[in-house]
Amino acid sequence: MNPAAARRMRLTGMIRKESLQILRDPSSIAIAFIMPVVLLLLFGYGVSLDARKVPLAMVVEQPDANSASLVGAFRHSEYFAPRLFTSLQEARQAFDLREVFGIVWLRNNFSNRLLGQGDAPIGVIINGVDANQARITGGYIQGVWQAWLADYARGRGLTPRVPVVLEPRIWFNAAVRSHNFLVPGLIAVIMTLIGAMLTSMVVAREWERGTMEALMVTPIRIDELVIGKLAPYFLLGMGGMLLSVVMALWQFDVPLRGSFWALTATSALFMLVALGMGLLISVVAKNQFVAGQVSIIVTFLPAFILSGFIFSIGSMPEPIQWITHLIPARYYVAILQSLFLAGDIWPIMLGNSAALAVMMVVFLGLARRRFHKRLDA
């Protein structure tokens, strides 16, 4: 038998063995197909930065037409659910009990000042504990106030005069839905988990049971072993990935503006990086316990916090920004957010893909080397 044919035979044999193992042990199929669906459903609905129907206390000390029109403006906004109070004390009580997120306070001289000298004060207190939510809510309150001012002036036949008018154009996500960027990011986080989990747990088990040694005494080469191990899991992972993309498009209505083939190519690259990471963990760790623990430490929380999926990397201190370069999910998040919302932006796709390719070579190369050492030992 010539060497090429022998090689092919060993490789197909290896892949066949791995595939059979997967088919007979449904746990890896569950990890690849059920986990992405469950996690994406849970997180897709669970993770949202869009405030809506924020409970707001409105203190109106002297009800009249003017205060009623301002309350009406808040009531008609989709962002607020106002509750009326007649004194600040009662509102404070609800605020302390966290029943309302903020207080809008119209004093009894509100109408007098409004009709007289102007500058009628509208006092607003918001709960600043969640700074991000407070900022966003503050922005919405300003929006309601400005719209009300314009309405009020129009009602009196005046043209409101604002020196500089801000005209924002929000590209790629005109409705500013946080789902549109969170769901692609979640795909990256979930795929990091699944890719690493698939290989790290499964391969570590083989070391522990001693079946890896059995494999090593066969004529199979290291490269064939690595490829044979990865190929079936790669297919499984890509299947899970496809499911996630389908859900993002039809369940969460995220637009896909880039091309499908670019998505497939970059996803395949990322899947290889994630699997390579899992393989490396499993080869380095001596047992399932350490492999499992290391996978938890290096995958979930870093992918969640350091990938730019929710916290933007540009705002982190310089040294932390360097650390994020070690997180594969960071590159994939950047690619996915652009692919889904903006289109095939080549400079972003090429730069980040190059980084992923480097990581893939490093992970697989290290895993291969450690395999080798094991054989010698």
Residue listed under structure tokens 């106030």: 145
The answer to the question of residue 5 lying near another protein (CB under 8 A) is: no
CB of 215 to another protein, least distance (A): 20
Q: What is the DSSP letter of 315?
A: G
The closest alpha carbon to 282, from 178, 201, 193, belongs to: 201
Number of residues that bind another protein (CB under 8 A): 100
Measured CA to CA, the distance from residue 316 to residue 306 in angstroms comes to 9
CB of 322 to another protein, least distance (A): 11
Nearer to another protein, 128 or 365 (CB): 128
Which member of 37, 243, 249, 316 binds another protein (CB under 8 A)? 316
The answer to the question of residue 375 lying near another protein (CB under 8 A) is: no
Cα radius of gyration rounded to whole Å, the chain: 28
- 132 membership: H or E segment, kind and range: helix 131-155
The answer to the question of residue 219 lying near another protein (CB under 8 A) is: no
CB of 341 to another protein, least distance (A): 5
Measured CA to CA, the distance from residue 218 to residue 156 in angstroms comes to 91
The answer to the question of residue 17 lying near another protein (CB under 8 A) is: no
Is residue 100 within 8 Å of 94, Cβ to Cβ?
yes
- 357 membership: H or E segment, kind and range: helix 346-376
In whole angstroms, how far apart are CA 216 and each of 7, 101, 189, 376, 377?
15, 63, 34, 10, 12
Measured CA to CA, the distance from residue 190 to residue 34 in angstroms comes to 12
Report how far Cα 196 is from the mean position of its chain's Cα atoms: 17
Which member of 8, 9, 108, 128 binds another protein (CB under 8 A)? 128
The closest alpha carbon to 339, from 323, 321, 319, 353, belongs to: 353
The answer to the question of residue 65 lying near another protein (CB under 8 A) is: no
Q: Which of residues 334-373 bind another protein (CB under 8 A)?
A: 334, 337-338, 341-342, 345, 347-348
Q: Tell me, what amino acid is at 304?
A: F
Say which residues have a Cβ less than 8 Å from residue 213's Cβ, sequence separation at least 6: none
The answer to the question of residue 169 lying near another protein (CB under 8 A) is: yes
Which member of 68, 147, 153, 326 binds another protein (CB under 8 A)? 153
Please choose, out of 12-20, 131-139, 213-221, 273-281, the segment that lies near another protein by the rule CB under 8 A: 131-139
Say what the alpha-carbon torsion angle 127, 133, 138, 139 is, to the nearest 10 degrees.
180
Q: Which of residues 108-127 bind another protein (CB under 8 A)?
A: 110, 113-114, 118-127
- Build a one-symbol-per-residue string for 265-304: x at contacts with another protein by CB under 8 A, - elsewhere: -----------------------xxx-xx--xx--xx--x
Nearer to another protein, 219 or 317 (CB): 317
The answer to the question of residue 244 lying near another protein (CB under 8 A) is: no
Please choose, out of 40-48, 215-223, 227-235, 258-266, the segment that lies near another protein by the rule CB under 8 A: 40-48
Nearer to another protein, 100 or 269 (CB): 100
Nearer to another protein, 69 or 86 (CB): 69
- 104 membership: H or E segment, kind and range: strand 102-106
Nearer to another protein, 167 or 376 (CB): 167
Please choose, out of 82-90, 136-144, 218-226, 262-270, the segment that lies near another protein by the rule CB under 8 A: 136-144
